[in-house]
């Protein structure tokens, strides 16, 4: 029996796309363990800039040197292209950002380099895979789309294809940026106005965030908290990258583990609201503060019929 027979049954796996780098790294590691095979040589990554693609790749492939490092260590031409031009690949695994590399070489040359490396049984991780696929005409063995969610699939000859994944995530990353910005503003107000330290535990809901407390926070007035956050949103505070561990919200420097995943101004956050009560998890014992932004996310996989919205009473005889 072939070792990857079960992989071929995968249609799509969808994950919440977390916002902090530690959580992105852990999710990347989990995706690598679940869906990568040792025989996979072509991995395609799709998604807008600033959605955490680099962190996901670092989690999947620890130690891999990226050619478009966010801290400015940009390598060009990419080792993949340079070694293709030299006619010899001295490494086993390569990373290439197609859009970044297109500033230096033609896209068809990138496709030729990938084909050459595949023929030499090298592994290539390709960011913006959809940009090179029309020239490459070889689908990836694993495709990841990173937007509002993270979509993972193992295509076969019949798809899904890069454009399918691109359409699934297109224009969705804005909801993630809104949610993250609203989450950090909420945390800042909790600390500054309510003297409630923000816990390390965070999780996700569709188009929103969850802040998890081990105990019910004393003195927390959720309605007042919501009003204060809305004041900052409506004021139009600039939100900007400060360093790898901080952002600036207006004039305030605030800690953040995902400083690039934000809207540029708080006024871009639409329809912010908090659930009126803390949600208690009876298993973990935690109290969850839940915030959401924008419009409710459409249900994709399970459609509820209107008549199924509430139980009906048995008909009287």
Q: What is the pLDDT of residue 300?
A: 54
Mean pLDDT in residue range 214-224: 94
Write out pLDDT tens, residues 279-291.
Answer: 999 999 999 999 9
Mean pLDDT in residue range 202-220: 92
Percentage of the chain exceeding pLDDT 90: 71
pTM: 0.84
Distance (Å, whole) CA 62 – CA 29: 8
Mean pLDDT in residue range 83-102: 91
Distance (Å, whole) CA 32 – CA 12: 15
Would you say residue 316 has pLDDT above 70? Answer: no
Is the model more confident about 85 or about 265? Answer: 265
Write out pLDDT tens, residues 33-67.
Answer: 999 999 999 999 999 988 999 999 999 999 898 88
Percentage of the chain exceeding pLDDT 70: 89
Mean pLDDT in residue range 145-171: 93
Banded pLDDT at 306 (limits 50, 70, 90): very low
Mean pLDDT in residue range 163-182: 94
Write out pLDDT tens, residues 62-79.
Answer: 989 888 755 545 566 788
Does residue 14 have a cis peptide bond before it, meaning omega lies within 30 degrees of 0? no
With 0-12 / 13-18 / 19 or more C-beta atoms within 10 angstroms meaning exposed / middle / buried, residue 163 is middle
List the domains of the chain with CATH numbers: 7-171 (3.40.50), 174-292 (3.30.980.10)
Banded pLDDT at 277 (limits 50, 70, 90): very high
Q: What is the pLDDT of residue 310?
A: 40
Would you say residue 185 has pLDDT above 90? Answer: yes
Please say whether the beta carbons of 33 and 40 come within 8 A: no
For 278-312, what is the HEC assignment? CEECCCCCCEEEEEECCCCCCCCCCCCCHHHCCCC
The region of weakest confidence among 3-17, 48-62, 297-311 is: 297-311
Give the chain's mean pLDDT: 88
Q: What is the pLDDT of residue 165?
A: 95
Would you say residue 247 has pLDDT above 50? Answer: yes
Coil, strand or helix: which one is 104? coil
Q: What is the pLDDT of residue 74?
A: 57
Which of 244, 203, 158, 224 has its CA nearest to residue 26? 203
CA atoms within 13 A of residue 299's CA, in its CB half-sphere: 5
């Amino acid at each position: 029996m072939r070792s990857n027979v079960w992989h071929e049954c995968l249609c799509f796996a969808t994950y919440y796309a977390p916002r902090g780098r530690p959580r992105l790294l852990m999710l990347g590691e989990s995706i690598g363990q679940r869906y990568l095979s040792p025989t996979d040589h072509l991995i395609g990554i799709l998604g807008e800039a600033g959605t955490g693609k680099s962190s996901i790749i670092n989690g999947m492939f620890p130690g891999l040197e990226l050619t478009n490092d966010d801290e400015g260590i940009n390598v060009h031409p990419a080792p993949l292209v340079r070694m293709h031009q030299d006619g010899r690949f001295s490494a086993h695994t390569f990373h290439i950002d197609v859009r970044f590399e297109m500033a230096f070489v033609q896209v068809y040359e990138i496709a030729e380099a990938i084909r050459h490396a595949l023929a030499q049984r090298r592994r290539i991780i390709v960011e913006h895979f959809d940009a090179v696929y029309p020239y490459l005409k070889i689908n990836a063995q694993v495709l990841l789309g990173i937007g509002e969610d993270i979509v993972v699939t193992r295509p076969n000859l019949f798809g899904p294809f890069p454009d399918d994944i691109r359409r699934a995530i297109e224009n969705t990353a804005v909801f993630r940026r809104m949610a993250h910005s609203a989450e950090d503003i909420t945390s800042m107000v909790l600390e500054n106005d309510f003297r409630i330290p923000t816990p390390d535990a965070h999780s996700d809901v569709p188009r929103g965030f969850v802040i998890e407390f081990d105990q019910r926070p004393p003195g927390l007035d959720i309605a007042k908290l919501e009003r204060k956050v809305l004041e900052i949103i409506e004021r139009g505070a600039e939100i900007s990258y400060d360093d790898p561990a901080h952002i600036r919200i207006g004039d305030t420097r605030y800690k953040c583990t995902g400083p690039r995943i934000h809207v540029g101004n708080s006024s871009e956050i639409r329809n912010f609201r908090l659930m009126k009560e803390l949600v208690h998890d009876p298993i973990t014992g935690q109290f969850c503060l839940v915030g959401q932004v924008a419009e409710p996310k459409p249900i994709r996989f399970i459609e509820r019929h209107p008549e199924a919205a509430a139980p009906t009473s048995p008909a009287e005889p």
